[in-house]
Amino acid sequence: MLAPNEIRTSRLLLRPWRPDDAGQLLPVLEANRSHLDPWIPEHVAAPAPLPLLAARLAGFGAAFISDREWRYALFALDDGRVLGEISLFPRSPDGRVPYSSADRAEIGYWLRADATGAGFASEAAQAMVNLAETMPGLGHVEIRCDVRNGASAAVPRRLGFELADCVSDAGVSSESGAEVTLQVWARPLAHAGGQVAS
């Protein structure tokens, strides 16, 4: 496995999702539906009956073990609350790909509404940058966010990413069905010599 089963930061515990997390996660998803729906894909953040949610989390865990993508549940170290998710996805210029075909990684994240504004997303995203530094063959990391989501864009800005591009993504649409423009923020990895591939 390329990614560790546990990462600790000053305030967070990151570990892969497990099916038995469904009971703690479901009320978070239900309470944050309007907060997450505009930005997060339904297959990630939509509430579901516990057996279906447990199966979804099992799928995330299987993808983690097989190094297809690395989704970490975010827990507060002080009280064990589920705060959200931080993820690392292998990418190429063509999109998300198997790690063996990747030349970069993409960081994704979401937080429950009552955990925003405290720097948790930045803390977790920095942990993903550090993880990507350990993965051979990756030249840089990216964060992609909807141009309308200023709070999300503040995370890469805070971590020293630079706005590299704005792209229309046919796979992402707004509530009205209109195609969404994504900002692509990039940061070179130190082991790659400071270059960002296009």
Segment 21-74, tens digit of pLDDT: 999 999 999 999 999 998 888 888 899 999 999 999 999 999 999 999 999 999
Q: What is the number of alpha carbons within 13 Å of residue 155 lying toward its C-beta? A: 30
Q: How far are the Cα atoms of 19, 45, 83, 159, 187 from residue 194, in angstroms, in the given order?
A: 39, 34, 32, 15, 8
Segment 125-181, tens digit of pLDDT: 999 999 999 999 999 999 999 999 999 999 999 999 999 999 987 555 555 566 789
What is the CATH number that goes with domain 7-192? 3.40.630.30
Domain boundaries, the chain: 7-192
70: Cβ contacts below 8 Å, ≥ 6 apart: 2, 3, 16, 64, 87, 88, 89, 131
